[in-house]
């Protein structure tokens, strides 16, 4: 069984996730910790639970989801895994966004490796399936636990909303397709842990989401 712990970090109120199993093996997804206090909150949780952080995963590389990458690398000697189509976002677009927003973004190293649809991310006795869900970002992916019936969904699907598609390299139709052809193929009882705000379920969003639910059809 995977335990999911969320933290709301940085000026964008981005959800950073720590996932771990009974063996205390853990992964960090979308480390957005920005201030020294936020970094300490994350570190204190990891230490208090005696977790062994094995991997850092990115749903996508927009600035609010990567502000903690430098801290993670310096603390745990880990570099992120992401989809190759988001490499330009990580290395070029997010640093440009940091300048535009006046946010200090410490340098990000090249990723540890690339992930793609169908990959299984293993940590301890747990595994996460990678689904390719572009639209909000060109290389956006989500991480699915079929055993525990949840999705770490990044900025694809929200409670009553969907990810923005007014960014460079965003595509609205791709996002709709990702939700309807990938996420909505999962069971209604799957919990969606979102990149911002409260969690939801696939069934709830199928029924009532004003952009992609039944009432939108």
**pLDDT for position 104:** 86
111-126: per-residue pLDDT in tens?
A: 999 999 999 999 999 9
DSSP 36-70: HHHHHHHHHHHHHTT-EEEEEE-S---GGGTTTHH
CATH 3.40.1190.20 for domain 3-216: no
Q: pLDDT tens digit string along 139-154?
A: 999 999 999 999 999 9
**pTM, rounded to two decimals:** 0.97
Please tell me the predicted confidence (pLDDT) of residue 44: 98
Largest CA distance in the chain: 48
**DSSP strand E in 47-189: where?**
52-57, 80-82, 113-114, 120-123, 126-132, 141-145, 150-154, 157-158, 161-162
Residue 217: pLDDT band (50, 70, 90) is low
Please state, as a whole number, how many other Cβ atoms lie within 10 Å of the Cβ of residue 142: 27
**Residues in contact with 122: Cβ distance below 8 Å, sequence separation at least 6, in sequence order:** none
Query: How does pLDDT run across 127-138, given as a tens digit for each residue?
Result: 999 999 999 999
């Amino acid at each position: 069984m995977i335990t999911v712990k969320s933290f709301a970090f940085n000026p964008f109120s981005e959800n950073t996730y720590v996932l771990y199993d009974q063996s205390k093996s853990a992964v960090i997804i979308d480390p957005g910790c920005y201030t020294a206090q936020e970094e300490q909150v994350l570190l204190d949780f990891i230490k208090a639970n005696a977790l062994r952080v094995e991997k850092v995963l990115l749903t996508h590389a927009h600035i609010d989801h990567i502000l903690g990458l430098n801290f993670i690398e310096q603390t745990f000697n880990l570099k992120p895994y992401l989809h190759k189509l988001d490499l330009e976002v990580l290395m070029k677009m997010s640093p440009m966004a940091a300048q535009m927003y006046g946010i200090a973004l410490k340098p990000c190293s090249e990723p540890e490796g690339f992930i793609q649809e169908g990959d299984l991310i293993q940590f301890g006795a747990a595994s996460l399936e990678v689904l390719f869900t572009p639209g909000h970002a060109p290389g956006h992916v989500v991480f699915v636990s079929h055993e525990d019936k949840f999705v770490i969904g990044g900025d694809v699907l929200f409670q009553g909303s969907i990810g923005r598609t007014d960014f460079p390299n965003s595509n609205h139709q791709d996002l709709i397709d990702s939700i309807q052809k990938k996420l909505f193929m999962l069971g209604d009882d799957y919990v969606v842990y979102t990149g911002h705000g409260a969690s939801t379920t696939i069934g709830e969003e199928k029924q009532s989401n004003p952009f992609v639910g039944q009432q939108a059809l």
